[in-house]
Structure 1
Amino acid sequence: MSLIERLTEKVNAVEPLMIGDSQLTFDSGEDLDEYQLAKAERELRETPEVVQEAFKVLCDLLGEEDDLYVPLEMEFLQKFLRRCKWYPKSAFKLIKRFYEYQQNHPEYFENLVPTKERSCLLSGCILPLPRRTAEGCRIVVIEAGATWNPKEVTLNQLFRGVIVCLEVAIAEPISQVSGVRVIIDMKGLSLSQVTYFSPKFASAIVDFVQRSLPCRLKGVHIINQSFVFDMVFAFFKPFLKGKLRDRIYFHGNDRSSILAYFDAKCLPKKYGGEYDSETTNVGEKLYKFSSSFDDYFAEIRKYGYTKNT
Structure 2
Amino acid sequence: MTKPNQIADTAVAKRSRSSPTMDKEAESNGSLPDGPPDSPDSALGASASSPDEVNGDDDTYICTLGPETQKKAENELGETDLVRQLAIMNLKKRMEQRSDIKFCHDERFLLRFLRAKKFEVERAFNSIVKYHELHIKHPDFFKDYKPTAIKHVLDDGFPMVLSQLDEEGRPVIAMKAVGSWDPKKYSVVDIAKAVFMVMENLVEDDEVQVNGVVLLVDLDLIGPSHAITFSPSVAKKLTTIFQNCVPVRLQGIHFINEPLVMDAVFTCMKPFMQDKIKDRMLMHGSNFESLKCYIPLSILPTEWGGEAGPYDIDNTAWKKEFLSIDHEFSPITDDAIVKKKKKKKLGLKRATKGTVKRIAKIAGKKSGARKVYEADKAKEEEKSRKQSKTGMKTSKSSFF
TM-score (norm: length of structure 2): 0.66
Give the equivalent residue in structure 1 for 2:253.
220
The reply to whether residue 8 of structure 1 matches residue 41 of structure 2 is no
The reply to whether residue 293 of structure 1 matches residue 298 of structure 2 is no
Which one is further off, 162-171 or 150-159? 150-159
CA distance in 2, matches of 1:30, 1:255: 38
Q: Deviations over 1:278-300 (max 9, x none)?
A: 44633x655432222123626x3
Maintained 8 Å contact 1:112/1:301: no
Q: Deviations over 1:118-177 (max 9, x none)?
A: 211222121122211111222111234634221233212111111111110111111100
* Offset at residue 33 of structure 1 (A): 2.0
Match 2:262 to one of 220, 229, 248: 229
> Residues 211 and 70 from structure 1, CA distance in 2 versus in 1: closer, same or farther, beyond 3 angstroms?
closer
| AA at the equivalent of 2:227 | V
Maintained 8 Å contact 2:219/2:257: yes
| Structure 2 unaligned residues grouped into runs of 5+ | 1-8, 17-61, 341-400
Give the equivalent residue in structure 2 for 1:185.
218
> Residues 220 and 297 from structure 1, CA distance in 2 versus in 1: closer, same or farther, beyond 3 angstroms?
same
Maintained 8 Å contact 1:40/1:46: yes
- Count residues with an aligned counterpart: 287
1:109-188 correspondence runs (5 A): 109-144=142-177, 146-188=179-221
Q: Deviations over 1:214-253 (max 9, x none)?
A: 1111111111112122132222133334111111100011
| AA at the equivalent of 2:321 | F
| AA at the equivalent of 1:234 | T
The reply to whether residue 46 of structure 1 matches residue 79 of structure 2 is yes
1:20-31 correspondence runs (5 A): 31=64
Maintained 8 Å contact 2:189/2:238: no
| AA at the equivalent of 1:163 | F
The reply to whether residue 266 of structure 1 matches residue 271 of structure 2 is no
CA distance in 2, matches of 1:207, 1:40: 27
* Offset at residue 84 of structure 1 (A): 1.0
> Residues 166 and 6 from structure 1, CA distance in 2 versus in 1: closer, same or farther, beyond 3 angstroms?
closer
Maintained 8 Å contact 2:116/2:209: yes
| Structure 1 unaligned residues grouped into runs of 5+ | 12-28
Give the equivalent residue in structure 1 for 2:232.
199
Q: Secondary structure at the match of 1:140?
A: strand
More strand by share: 1
* Offset at residue 76 of structure 1 (A): 1.5
CA distance in 2, matches of 1:304, 1:217: 31
CA distance in 1, matches of 2:150, 2:177: 16
> Residues 287 and 133 from structure 1, CA distance in 2 versus in 1: closer, same or farther, beyond 3 angstroms?
closer
TM-score (norm: length of structure 1): 0.84
Give the equivalent residue in structure 2 for 1:306.
337
| AA at the equivalent of 2:99 | D
- The structure with the larger Rg is 2
Structure with higher RCO (Cα < 8 A, 6+ apart): 1
> Residues 52 and 304 from structure 1, CA distance in 2 versus in 1: closer, same or farther, beyond 3 angstroms?
farther
> Residues 35 and 250 from structure 1, CA distance in 2 versus in 1: closer, same or farther, beyond 3 angstroms?
same
Maintained 8 Å contact 2:88/2:107: yes
The reply to whether residue 67 of structure 1 matches residue 100 of structure 2 is yes
